[in-house]
Amino acid sequence: MTLAVSAPTTPQKQKSQRRRPQRADVEAAVRLLIEWSGDDPDREGLIDTPARVVRAYEEFFEGYNTDPAELLARTFEETNGYDDIIVLRNMRFESHCEHHIVPIIGKVHVAYLPAKRVVGISKLARVVEVFAKRLQIQETLTSQIADTIQEVLQPRGVAVVIEASHMCMTTRGIKKPGVSMVTRRLLGEFQSDKELRREFLTSLSMSTRSA
C-alpha cells in the first residue's frame, strides 16, 4: 500500500498567548465557587473536590493540546480507484457550551468524497474529538470539523451533520428537556450536487430508523 504524507496549507494552531494559571490558583478558584454556592469546602465530601475538578477539566478540554490538521496529515493513495462517498455515522461526542460551561451531548455524522487519497477513519473520529474537547457552540463545532477536513484532505466535498442536546437549555433557563439541535455544513459537491446531498441525508435517516 502506498503511503502519502500530505502537506497542504493547514489551519493555524489555536494557541493562546495568555499565561496559563498555576494549578494551585485554579484549585483555589474552585474552592471559592464552592464557598460562593453556600457550602463548606472543608467538609469531608468536598475537601478533595477542587483537585478533582481540575483533573476533570484537563480531560474535558484536552482538545486544546492537539492540532487537528496534523491528525489528517497521513493519507493513503492506493484505493483501487475508489472515489465514492465515505460516511461515518453516529459518532457520539461530548463537549461543553462556551456560554455556561455545561455539557453538549450528541452525535456527529461525517462524509467526504475522496480525490485520489483517503485517510484512516479513526483520524476523522479524532478530529471530531479534538474540536469537541474545547469550549464550543454547536455551529462553530460543525464548521471547524468540516473546514479542517476540506482544507487538509482537499477532497471533492465534505458534509458534517451534528445533532445534540444542550444542558444549558434543558437543565437551566427555559428548561426544555428532550429538545435537540441540528446543524450541518456542506462543502464542495455536497453543496452543489442535489442528488449527492439527498443520498447522504437519506443515509442518515436510515441510520436513525435502524438504531
Positions marked catalytic: 97-100, 138, 166, 168
Closest CA to 95 of 79, 106, 110, 85: 106
Instruction: Specify the pairing of strand 103-113 against strand 86-97.
Output: antiparallel
Return d(Cα 84, Cα 152) in angstroms, integer.
19
Return d(Cα 64, Cα 68) in angstroms, integer.
10
State which H helix or E strand residue 80 sits in. Answer: none
CB of 61 closer than 8 Å to CB of 98: no
Instruction: For residue 15, count other CB atoms closer than 10 A to its CB.
Output: 9
